[in-house]
Amino acid sequence: MTKKKLAVVMDPIAEIIPEKDGTLGLLLEAQSRSYELIYFEQKDLRIKNGIALGSGRHLNVEDNTTSWFSLSEKNEIPLSEFDVILMRKDPPFNIEYIYTTYVLDLAESSGALVINSPESLRNFNEKVSISFFPECAAPSLVTSSINHLQDFLKLHKKIVVKPLDGMGGKSIFVIAEGDLNTNSIFEIITHENSETVMAQLYIPEVVEGDKRIHIVDGKHVDVLLARIPLKTDNRGNLVAGAQPKTQALSENDKRICNLIGPKLQASGIFFAGIDVIGNFLTEINITSPTGMREIKRYADYDVVGIFFDLIEKKLND
């Protein structure tokens, strides 16, 4: 029986933190299911005379914190040869990221299952996309105007401000009315009224955890990962030191998932990690959502297995 071929586009695998890295967890599962794995970095992809190509390396992975991968020499491979392509490049979501989605568009049109769809990666900014769901999203403002940010702060008294293209809690500020650093923060984060950012109402329930909930093919899983900020930090991000805690979804969590799941599915977003604080949706992560390994480690609940069961169902349909 011919092995199915899976390509992954990711950041340099030598630089990941193996015990936490969600992409490594996906690759370990694929390898256990006898997929042939081919590794690409963003710079390895190109279009030549209308054909999507990549300089790929055969990849073997291990669940090991000191030696977790081995790679072959590079070979040129048409992306049309792959059954599945996982686009797992981390943000920043910049113009190079968009160019990469053009290459993946061609791969998708040639029959490869690209997760998530290149069009959805372009259209669903991980911060702005909550605006499609105002009935469950945190009150928010998307603007480059310092004056508008000042008005938003005056209205809500305490807010969170963040860039639209980041991840992992980088460059996120919590600002309370009266903070003497407010204007400096607004000037820096907007590059003096020239770069669009998001402001959101500060939700005090963040101290109970910034909840990561995975949605696979439009359906929520049954265990979430609450990331509880350190007492010395506002950010509920594991890379910022937040502590992981697994728990069941609340009825409100399920309500949010059921509201947004059908639109994600219809848009070609096969795998998402939404963030919920208190009763509010705050982000929809679709580039390289993580948290699956912690859920497996602490709750013995296999999000990655669910993901691959559904991939194989799609490939066999």
Residue from 57, 235, 293, 296 carrying the catalytic annotation? 235
Residue 237 falls in the annotated catalytic set:
no
Residue 179 falls in the annotated catalytic set:
no
Residue from 212, 237, 293, 296 carrying the catalytic annotation? 212
Cα 292 from Cα 36, distance rounded (Å) = 22
Residue from 283, 293, 294, 296 carrying the catalytic annotation? 283
Residue 212 falls in the annotated catalytic set:
yes
Residue from 88, 211, 227, 296 carrying the catalytic annotation? 227
**284 touches 260 (CB < 8 A):** yes
**227 touches 276 (CB < 8 A):** no
Q: Amino acid identity, residue 294?
A: E
Please name which of 10, 11, 29 lies closest in space to residue 216, comparing C-alpha atoms: 29
Residue from 57, 88, 89, 162 carrying the catalytic annotation? 162
Spatial neighbors of 47 by CB under 8 A, at least 6 apart, are 53, 102, 103, 106
Residue from 57, 127, 211, 293 carrying the catalytic annotation? 127
Cα 107 from Cα 195, distance rounded (Å) = 32
Residue from 217, 285, 293, 294 carrying the catalytic annotation? 285
Residue 227 falls in the annotated catalytic set:
yes
Q: 111: left (phi > 0), else alpha (psi -120 to 50), else beta?
A: left
Residue 255 falls in the annotated catalytic set:
no
Pair of tokens at residue 239: 């890379």
Residue from 210, 275, 294, 296 carrying the catalytic annotation? 275
Residue 283 falls in the annotated catalytic set:
yes
Residue 108 falls in the annotated catalytic set:
no
Spatial neighbors of 155 by CB under 8 A, at least 6 apart, are none
- Residues classed as catalytic: 127, 162, 212, 227, 235, 275, 283, 285
